[in-house]
Amino acid sequence: MNIDISNNPAKHLKIVKRQTRSSKKFSTYVGENSETLPIDLIIEILKRLPVKTISLCRCVSKKWDSLLSSPHFNKSFLARSSSRPQLLFTFEFKGKWHFFSSPQNLFDEAASVVAPDNHMNISGDWYKEVCLSANGFIYLYEKQILKGKMERVPVLCNPSTGQKTHLPKVRAKNNDLRSFLGYDPIEKQFKVLCMTVTRYGNQFNSRELHVLTLGKGNLTWRKIECEFPYVHQKHKKGICINGILYFAAQKNTTNVIACFDVKSEKFRFIQIDYNFLSIIKYKGKLGVLIFDSVNGNLLWVLDDTEKGKWSKHSLFFPDRIFWNLKSVWGTDTGEIVWAQWPWKQPFYVFYYNVERKSVRRVEIQGIEENVFMHPAERPAEVFTFPNHVENLMFRQ
């Protein structure tokens, strides 16, 4: 590909792509002296582009397509995206999943209005189940009519590329299934953990555990032998931190945090004396939000996983509406984030700084216009995910 730039003081600049026999690496030559741009510099430039632009650049030539779809570029792009985390909002409205994101760390903390980016929409009807997020991917359930019967179908989607894949159903006798999405940063693998829950009178038990490994040939569920004497607390979300999947579980009056190692597929349990509200990721560590009638609102942070050492922080909120919300999360910069519910205009996101004990409110402006939402209409539920990154996987 030659690009001539006329009426330039440097005369004519030529950008030439070629592959050398020795290195077999993609190189670019600029100008009359054919100065080489190293591959690392090319990647450094290209990884700053939006995902949609990268998709267009892949159409330039086979070499560009090879470069931009390589594991090395995907890894470099993900690393840069991880340094600029986003707030991701997703909801199903009129037969489509809509994804919006805004910068999580605002350079101007005084900013009160943010216009989010609209990602590619994905068709699908939501089945009422909690959405889960891990390393740029969203796991959810859709409702589909299969053989004349309404079924819930697990789906993994990538908001950045607008792609989704339907996952196979778990072959289990019981229809009460609880699923969690995890990511192993060592093996670079996504896994879905699914457990069946049975009920005997007022007693609930987790009978079977299945794991689905993504990206390895045919998608099939594996039954794993693992002692799990508890049952997941329904409607309490799970979260994956550094390859460990955490979620709330209980047996009778005993509350625990189940810790599932995504790589080894083994469990351990952390007993906690409180019926906690939510599990979050706070400064890269496990955090637990607790409401104590004596001590008030608390944040427990697990500083040492081996010794079970916790640090405790008192939280001061202007009112208790925070505790009635379904979507509460933490950030790596030390804030607790939640979105207002139910949906109403204007739509706000709240940031609570744990150290300063202060709350700031940011209006997310423009979502209604993008999805042609009438003021009287509202989505069934909005899911908010801090620390969202753009991931180029699935992009073929």
Identity of residue 65: D
If pLDDT is split at 50, 70 and 90, which confidence band does 128 have? low
pLDDT of residue 19: 47
pLDDT of residue 14: 38
Q: What is the pLDDT of residues 68-115, one digit of tens each?
A: 888 889 888 998 888 888 888 888 788 778 888 888 876 556 668 887
User: Each residue of 336-369: b (16+ CB within 10 Å) or e?
Assistant: bbbbbeebeeebebbbbebeeeeebebebbbbbe
Between 157 and 131, the more confident residue is 157
Range of lowest pLDDT (49-53, 72-76, 179-183): 49-53
Please compute the mean of the pLDDT values over residues 233-255 and round it to a whole number: 86
* Pairwise CA distance, residues 177 & 151, whole Å: 13
Please compute the mean of the pLDDT values over residues 117-124 and round it to a whole number: 73
Range of lowest pLDDT (30-39, 42-51, 52-61, 270-279): 30-39
User: Each residue of 189-199: b (16+ CB within 10 Å) or e?
Assistant: bbbbbbbbbee
Range of lowest pLDDT (32-36, 314-318, 373-377, 391-395): 32-36
pLDDT of residue 332: 86
Residue 380 zone, left/alpha/beta (φ > 0; ψ -120 to 50; rest): alpha
pLDDT of residue 393: 80
* Pairwise CA distance, residues 9 & 65, whole Å: 32
If pLDDT is split at 50, 70 and 90, which confidence band does 359 have? confident
Residue 18 reports pLDDT greater than 70: no
pLDDT of residue 244: 95
- Matching residue, tokens 């950008």: 15
pLDDT of residue 32: 47
Q: Between the CA of residue 109 and those of 278, 353, 362, what are the distances in Å?
A: 26, 11, 9
Residue 9 reports pLDDT greater than 70: no
Between 325 and 382, the more confident residue is 382
β-bridge partners, 165: 156
Task: Report the percent of the chain where pLDDT is more than 90.
Answer: 17
Q: Are 232 and 178 in contact (CB under 8 A)?
A: yes
Task: Report the percent of the chain where pLDDT is more than 70.
Answer: 80
Q: What is the pLDDT of residues 189-242, one digit of tens each?
A: 999 998 887 766 566 666 788 999 987 678 889 999 887 888 788 777 889 999
Mean pLDDT of the chain: 79
Range of lowest pLDDT (149-153, 182-186, 199-203): 199-203
DSSP designation for 102: E
User: Each residue of 41-60: b (16+ CB within 10 Å) or e?
Assistant: ebbeebbeeebeebbeebee
H helix count then E strand count, the chain: 5, 30
pLDDT of residue 102: 86
Q: Are 223 and 196 in contact (CB under 8 A)?
A: no
Domain ranges of the chain: 15-78
pLDDT of residue 35: 55
Please compute the mean of the pLDDT values over residues 327-351 and round it to a whole number: 83
